[in-house]
Amino acid sequence: MPALAPFRGIRYASQADLSSLICPPYDVITPELREALAARSPHNLVHLVLDRERPGDGPGDNRYTRAARYFREWQQQGILKRDPRPALYALEQSFPAPDGRPMVRRGFLAAVRLHDFGEKIVVPHECTLPAVRADRLALISEVRANLSPVFGLYEDDANVAIHALAGSFGGEAVAQADSDDGVHHRMWRVEDPEIIAAVQKILAARRVLIADGHHRYEAALAYRDRLVRAEPDLPPDGGHQHVLMFLCSTSDPGLVIYPTHRALAGLAGFRLADLLERLPRYFKVETIAEDVRRPAGRAWAVSKLSEHLGKSSAFLMVTAEDQKGRILTLMDEADLSGLPLPRNENLRALDVSALHGIVFEALLGLSPASVGRQENVRYLLDADEAVARTLAGEFQVAFLLNPTPMWQVQAVGEAGETMPQKSTYIYPKIPGGMVFRDIDPRGTP
């Protein structure tokens, strides 16, 4: 585990309306949601993390410089206030499981020492995109603060670290809010030096796997390196050497992984008959007997797909042309030689690797670059939505996946590999706005 430290958080002074001020990570904010968040309050965090582009924007005045100005002004106006002493911030998230059961996830926020991925102390599990990295770097360079935490996971089978923090999750929370996805967030400050030291000791030998926030982490690395190049005499333990991170155990009972489904549109020359002719070379193709145009039929099809979880690579294909659903199961005896599949066996075993390498590239002729640019691919979290929009003709074909098991996510990260973009959706997300951390290169973490 990289060194972690308490920090003097910056928080919204008024807690009465915090639910109207927080926002989800920028990469899940649609244009419609962005406008809704902005309309809730002139001080909603979306004005900082995803400000609108305006006519006349240029090097001296743009959405990044405006974010920096708003952040300064909100502190000067008392809308944001800095906590008096350094602390860790214990965070509890309560939410309903898909079956309605109440669930709770606990973790904590800290200033975590930055490490290059090659050091294998902090490891990624997903690929990043250059344009998005540049966007987040431009924001952190202007604002000089961590506005949204990176989400990190560590192994702790007995949840010893959370047990050390257990007493911190009681009493009156310093912040609480409800996010649009139905999650209730409560946060407490942890100042006790003995508790902080115990948590630091417990996590000292652990490695961090980035669950969410890869672009933010890489932007923090690039910003650190830029500052060090410009000012080589900066203290080796200054604020620029750390990043705000939420840390959670991989064994936490409230840690949930959802799949991200794929839908394809605008495929020139796509013919369902051609695809159905090629699929049996690699997949067992089972047409769903139930009518997927009916909600009950869609639910039944998804349940059939879930039977393959952890057993075989499989996905549910739904096509607009014939309004049918089919379970595609990769055959053990299929000859995969020469196909664009990863060499690493952990990465090769992922359902999403089979989908991208065999179906997208080999059978449909999509290039990895075009998929990365999302030229034909759309990503959807809701299975019912993906099916409904495909049957309505918005997409030509949709592929629904099972969630990636946590052990596969860890295996890929520990092997130094990265999954295709949006291979996992680890839930709940960590909202921005519960606490911020400014970056003082000549100050403490």
Residue 411: its pLDDT value, please?
Answer: 85
In what helix (H) or strand (E) does residue 257 lie, and over which residues does it extend? strand 256-258
Structure tokens at 243: 């990043």
Question: Is 268 domain-assigned?
Answer: yes
Task: Kindly give the pairing relationship between strand 261-264 and strand 397-401.
Answer: antiparallel
pLDDT of amino acid 344: 86
CA distance 184 to 96: 10
The reply to whether 204 falls in a domain is yes
Radius of gyration for the chain, computed over Cα atoms and rounded to the nearest angstrom? 23
Question: Do 159 and 269 belong together in one domain?
Answer: no
Any domain includes 422: no
CA proximity to 228, closest of 442, 4, 381? 442
Q: Are residues 200 and 311 in the same domain?
A: no
pLDDT digits (tens, 9 = 90+) for 267-303: 998 999 999 999 999 999 999 989 999 989 888 998 8
Range of the domain at 318: 260-402
Is the same domain home to 214 and 352? Answer: no
Shared domain check, 390 and 247: no
Task: Give one DSSP letter per residue of 180-232, joined into a string.
Answer: TTS-EEEEEEE--HHHHHHHHHHHTTPPEEEEE-HHHHHHHHHHHHHHHHH-T
How far is the C-alpha of 310 from the C-alpha of 404, rounded, in Å? 9
Please state the domain count of the chain.
2
Distance CA 445, CA 220 (A): 13
What residue type is 36 in one-letter code? Answer: A
241/377 same-domain check: no
Question: CB atoms < 10 A from the CB of 117, how many?
Answer: 17
Model pLDDT, residue 14: 87
Residues 201 and 214 both lie in one domain = yes
Residue 92 forms part of a structural domain:
yes
Structural domain contains residue 243: yes
How many other C-beta atoms can be found within 10 angstroms of the C-beta atom of residue 309?
A: 15
Instruction: Say whether both 236 and 284 belong to one domain.
Output: no
Same domain, 329 and 233: no
Backbone angles phi, psi at 111, to 5 degrees: -85, 115
- The one-letter code for the residue type at 137 is L
- The predicted structure's pLDDT at residue 417: 81
Q: Residue 1: its pLDDT value, please?
A: 65
Check whether residue 167 and residue 193 sit in a common domain: yes
Task: For residue 53, count other CB atoms closer than 10 A to its CB.
Answer: 8
Could you tell me if 90 and 199 lie in one domain?
yes
- Asked whether residue 393 is domain-assigned, the answer is yes
- Please tell me whether residues 155 and 213 are part of one structural domain: yes
Residue type, 109: L
Q: What is the pLDDT of residue 317?
A: 97
Confidence at residue 100, expressed as pLDDT on a 0 to 100 scale? 77
Query: Could you read off the pLDDT tens digit of each residue along the chain, which spans 445 residues?
Result: 679 999 999 999 987 789 999 999 998 898 999 999 999 999 999 999 999 999 999 988 999 999 999 999 999 999 999 999 999 999 999 999 766 789 999 999 999 999 999 999 999 988 888 889 999 999 999 999 999 999 999 999 888 999 999 989 988 999 999 999 999 999 999 999 999 999 999 988 889 999 999 999 999 999 999 999 999 999 999 999 999 999 999 999 999 888 999 999 999 989 999 999 999 999 999 999 899 999 898 889 988 999 998 788 999 999 999 999 999 999 999 999 999 998 888 888 899 999 999 999 999 999 988 887 888 999 998 899 999 999 999 999 999 999 988 888 888 888 878 887 788 888 899 999 999 999 999 998 8
Q: Rounded to an integer, what distance in angstroms lies between the CA atom of residue 356 and that of residue 425?
A: 17
